[in-house]
Amino acid sequence: MNRRFRKKLSVIASSVLLLPFAFGYAKSSVKHGKRKASVSVSARKKAPGEKTTTADLATKVKGNVYESLGLGKLGLSKQAFDYAIKGHDYLAANGKLQNGDIISIVDFSLPSSQKRLFILDLKNNKLLFHTYVSHGRGSGKLMATDFSNVAESFKSSLGFYVTGDTYMGKHGLSMRLLGQDKGFNDNANDRAVVMHSASYVSEAVVKAQGFIGRSLGCPAVPEALNKPIIETVKNGSCLFLYSPDKQYAANSAIINALA
């Protein structure tokens, strides 16, 4: 056996002896990679005490609140609810809401003799208020069926609003409403469409005449609940006035942005 052959044989033998260690190193590296991936996934989970986002709240609400709070049994239209949650999410995504935990829904598919204002605490999954609310005298008598964005129409305006600040007016504590649906309610502030109290919004009036009184276009609420409602929803929460109105559904920029 010459010297060159013995040298080659020695190199081959060394490689064979080191082969298990090479495989062991590769296997260890793969395991380490998995552990790193696992750490990366867990790092994306919410840390204890991390603030819940508005998007998280919207997902949670869509999943269970309508059923868990029995809103359907109380008369709230599922379509009204679905539109309201999606519109709330749209406004939040566009930086319009400063009080995103609260949403108010007026369901004009119900007669004024029924409680059709629903105010929800999305963060804690609670129905805070369920009460009467008026529509404009130009929109109808028992049912609100005709809507307008025009001054002096005395009609309610459908769509999404952001609640504004408060002031003391002829109806006492009142709250400005900022219409977000172009062409449907964006004249609300100029029309002085606000939330306020009214003596004609009560169960006693319903019993006396079969429907509550009507406003000049404002969503008026019962006197006893006016202050707690306004204090809850003021300064940047979402208010949605709903009707199964085909023109609104077909032409609202907000509704159609969600399709």
119-176 per-position pLDDT tens digit: 999 999 999 999 999 999 999 999 999 999 999 999 999 999 999 999 999 999 999 9
Per-residue model confidence (pLDDT) at position 105: 98
Q: What is the mean pLDDT of the chain?
A: 84
Task: Measure CA of the first residue to CA of the last residue in the chain; give whole Å.
Answer: 83
Measure the CA–CA gap between 216 and 202, rounded to whole angstroms: 17
Nearest 5°: the CA angle 73, 75, 76 is 110
Q: With b meaning 16 or more CB within 10 Å and e meaning fewer, what string describes 89-112?
A: bbbbeeebbeebebbbbbbbbbbb
Report DSSP state, residue 163. Answer: E
pLDDT per residue as tens digits for the range 5-18? 454 445 444 444 44
Percent of the chain residues topping a pLDDT of 70: 75
Of the pLDDT bands very low, low, confident and very high (cuts 50, 70, 90), residue 38 is: very low
Of the pLDDT bands very low, low, confident and very high (cuts 50, 70, 90), residue 45 is: very low
CA atoms within 13 A on the CB side of 212: 27
Topology given in CATH for the domain delimited by 54-257 = L,D-transpeptidase catalytic domain-like (2.40.440)
How do the domains of the chain map onto residue ranges? 1-45, 54-257
Residue with structure tokens 């204890």? 48
| R_g (Cα) of the chain, nearest Å | 30
Q: Quote the pTM value.
A: 0.77
Task: Name which of 243, 230, 257 is nearest 88 in CA terms.
Answer: 257
Report DSSP state, residue 129. Answer: E
Per the CB < 8 A criterion, the answer to whether 237 and 100 are in contact is yes
Give φ, ψ of 210 to 5 degrees: 90, -5
